[in-house]
Amino acid sequence: MRINRRNNGDHTGKNRQEKEAYRQFIASKFELDKTENDPVDTNKTDESSFDEEEILNIPKIQRKSKWLKFKDFINNNWVVSIMGGIIVAALVGLATFLIKIEVSQNVHDEKFNNIGKNIEDIKKENNNNFSGLTSLKQSFEIFKAETIKDLEFIKKKIKI
Protein backbone atom coordinates (compact mmCIF):
# COMPACT_ATOMS: atom_id res chain seq x y z
CA MET A 1 0.00 0.00 0.00
CA ARG A 2 1.46 3.34 -1.04
CA ILE A 3 1.02 6.42 1.11
CA ASN A 4 0.62 9.73 -0.62
CA ARG A 5 2.50 12.24 1.53
CA ARG A 6 1.52 15.30 -0.45
CA ASN A 7 -2.10 14.97 0.57
CA ASN A 8 -1.39 14.50 4.27
CA GLY A 9 -3.05 17.51 5.90
CA ASP A 10 -1.86 16.79 9.45
CA HIS A 11 1.84 17.27 8.67
CA THR A 12 3.39 20.60 7.94
CA GLY A 13 6.81 20.28 6.35
CA LYS A 14 9.85 22.52 6.78
CA ASN A 15 11.01 24.85 4.14
CA ARG A 16 14.59 24.97 2.87
CA GLN A 17 15.80 27.56 5.33
CA GLU A 18 14.49 25.67 8.32
CA LYS A 19 16.09 22.45 7.10
CA GLU A 20 19.45 24.17 6.62
CA ALA A 21 19.30 25.76 10.08
CA TYR A 22 18.56 22.34 11.60
CA ARG A 23 21.52 20.72 9.79
CA GLN A 24 23.86 23.44 11.05
CA PHE A 25 22.57 23.00 14.58
CA ILE A 26 23.20 19.26 14.48
CA ALA A 27 26.70 19.77 13.01
CA SER A 28 27.57 22.30 15.70
CA LYS A 29 26.47 19.83 18.41
CA PHE A 30 28.97 17.26 17.19
CA GLU A 31 31.74 19.85 17.13
CA LEU A 32 31.05 20.91 20.72
CA ASP A 33 31.25 17.36 22.05
CA LYS A 34 34.68 16.67 20.60
CA THR A 35 37.67 17.15 22.91
CA GLU A 36 41.37 16.96 22.30
CA ASN A 37 43.68 14.65 24.20
CA ASP A 38 46.30 16.20 26.45
CA PRO A 39 49.72 16.26 24.87
CA VAL A 40 52.09 13.60 26.16
CA ASP A 41 55.22 14.99 27.79
CA THR A 42 58.03 12.77 26.54
CA ASN A 43 60.56 14.29 28.96
CA LYS A 44 58.91 12.62 31.97
CA THR A 45 59.75 8.93 31.69
CA ASP A 46 60.00 8.13 35.39
CA GLU A 47 56.32 8.77 36.09
CA SER A 48 53.47 6.53 35.14
CA SER A 49 50.38 7.80 33.41
CA PHE A 50 48.00 6.35 36.00
CA ASP A 51 47.62 6.50 39.77
CA GLU A 52 48.76 3.43 41.67
CA GLU A 53 46.66 4.34 44.68
CA GLU A 54 43.48 3.86 42.70
CA ILE A 55 44.52 0.32 41.80
CA LEU A 56 45.27 -0.56 45.42
CA ASN A 57 41.85 0.64 46.56
CA ILE A 58 39.90 -1.62 44.20
CA PRO A 59 37.79 -3.91 46.39
CA LYS A 60 38.22 -7.63 45.93
CA ILE A 61 35.45 -9.46 44.16
CA GLN A 62 33.45 -11.46 46.65
CA ARG A 63 32.53 -14.93 45.61
CA LYS A 64 29.28 -16.64 46.46
CA SER A 65 29.23 -18.47 49.74
CA LYS A 66 28.84 -22.23 49.71
CA TRP A 67 25.34 -21.89 51.17
CA LEU A 68 24.24 -19.59 48.32
CA LYS A 69 25.76 -21.97 45.75
CA PHE A 70 23.84 -24.83 47.39
CA LYS A 71 20.56 -22.86 47.37
CA ASP A 72 21.07 -21.90 43.71
CA PHE A 73 21.69 -25.54 42.81
CA ILE A 74 18.50 -26.62 44.60
CA ASN A 75 16.46 -23.86 42.92
CA ASN A 76 17.81 -24.67 39.46
CA ASN A 77 17.70 -28.47 39.83
CA TRP A 78 14.68 -29.13 42.02
CA VAL A 79 13.92 -32.58 40.54
CA VAL A 80 17.44 -33.77 41.30
CA SER A 81 17.18 -32.19 44.76
CA ILE A 82 13.94 -34.04 45.56
CA MET A 83 15.34 -37.36 44.36
CA GLY A 84 18.54 -36.76 46.31
CA GLY A 85 16.52 -35.95 49.43
CA ILE A 86 14.56 -39.19 49.09
CA ILE A 87 17.76 -41.20 48.64
CA VAL A 88 19.41 -39.52 51.65
CA ALA A 89 16.31 -40.18 53.79
CA ALA A 90 16.32 -43.85 52.74
CA LEU A 91 20.02 -44.20 53.56
CA VAL A 92 19.56 -42.57 56.98
CA GLY A 93 16.60 -44.87 57.71
CA LEU A 94 18.60 -47.94 56.65
CA ALA A 95 21.57 -46.88 58.78
CA THR A 96 19.28 -46.34 61.79
CA PHE A 97 17.69 -49.77 61.28
CA LEU A 98 21.08 -51.50 61.04
CA ILE A 99 22.33 -49.73 64.16
CA LYS A 100 19.25 -50.85 66.11
CA ILE A 101 19.78 -54.45 64.98
CA GLU A 102 23.45 -54.29 65.98
CA VAL A 103 22.59 -52.90 69.42
CA SER A 104 19.94 -55.56 70.08
CA GLN A 105 22.33 -58.28 68.92
CA ASN A 106 24.99 -57.00 71.30
CA VAL A 107 22.45 -57.08 74.15
CA HIS A 108 21.61 -60.72 73.37
CA ASP A 109 25.30 -61.64 73.11
CA GLU A 110 25.89 -60.08 76.51
CA LYS A 111 23.00 -62.08 77.99
CA PHE A 112 24.45 -65.32 76.58
CA ASN A 113 27.85 -64.45 78.00
CA ASN A 114 26.26 -63.79 81.39
CA ILE A 115 24.53 -67.19 81.26
CA GLY A 116 27.88 -68.82 80.46
CA LYS A 117 29.50 -67.00 83.39
CA ASN A 118 26.68 -68.09 85.68
CA ILE A 119 27.19 -71.73 84.65
CA GLU A 120 30.91 -71.40 85.31
CA ASP A 121 30.14 -69.92 88.73
CA ILE A 122 27.82 -72.83 89.52
CA LYS A 123 30.55 -75.28 88.46
CA LYS A 124 33.06 -73.57 90.74
CA GLU A 125 30.63 -73.62 93.66
CA ASN A 126 29.97 -77.32 93.28
CA ASN A 127 33.65 -78.11 92.62
CA ASN A 128 32.79 -79.46 89.18
CA ASN A 129 30.54 -82.04 90.93
CA PHE A 130 27.17 -81.04 89.55
CA SER A 131 25.45 -82.74 92.48
CA GLY A 132 22.86 -79.95 92.65
CA LEU A 133 22.32 -80.04 88.91
CA THR A 134 22.14 -83.82 88.74
CA SER A 135 19.54 -83.92 91.51
CA LEU A 136 17.56 -81.27 89.67
CA LYS A 137 17.87 -83.27 86.47
CA GLN A 138 16.71 -86.45 88.22
CA SER A 139 13.68 -84.74 89.71
CA PHE A 140 12.82 -83.36 86.25
CA GLU A 141 13.06 -86.88 84.78
CA ILE A 142 10.76 -88.18 87.50
CA PHE A 143 8.24 -85.40 86.79
CA LYS A 144 8.46 -86.16 83.08
CA ALA A 145 7.85 -89.90 83.61
CA GLU A 146 4.85 -89.26 85.87
CA THR A 147 3.37 -86.80 83.36
CA ILE A 148 3.75 -89.35 80.54
CA LYS A 149 1.98 -91.99 82.67
CA ASP A 150 -0.86 -89.55 83.42
CA LEU A 151 -1.27 -88.75 79.73
CA GLU A 152 -1.40 -92.46 78.81
CA PHE A 153 -4.02 -93.04 81.51
CA ILE A 154 -6.14 -90.14 80.17
CA LYS A 155 -5.87 -91.50 76.60
CA LYS A 156 -7.08 -94.94 77.73
CA LYS A 157 -10.05 -93.42 79.55
CA ILE A 158 -11.02 -91.44 76.46
CA LYS A 159 -10.96 -94.57 74.25
CA ILE A 160 -13.27 -96.55 76.57
pLDDT per residue as tens, the chain (160 positions): 455 555 555 656 788 899 898 888 887 766 655 566 666 666 665 655 555 555 566 677 888 899 999 899 888 998 988 999 999 999 999 999 989 888 888 887 787 778 778 777 777 776 655 566 677 777 778 888 888 888 787 777 776 6
Asked if residue 117 and residue 135 are part of one domain, the reply reads no
Asked if residue 94 and residue 79 are part of one domain, the reply reads yes
Q: Total domain count for the chain? A: 2
pTM as predicted = 0.34
Domain of residue 135, residue span: 129-160
What does the alpha-carbon distance between residue 107 and residue 113 come to, in Å, rounded to a whole number? 10
Rounded to whole angstroms, what are the CA distances from 37 to 29, 34, 40? 19, 10, 9
Q: Are 95 and 89 in contact (CB under 8 A)?
A: no
Could you tell me if residue 151 is inside a domain?
A: yes
Phi-psi category of residue 3: left, alpha or beta, with phi > 0 → left and psi -120 to 50 → alpha? beta
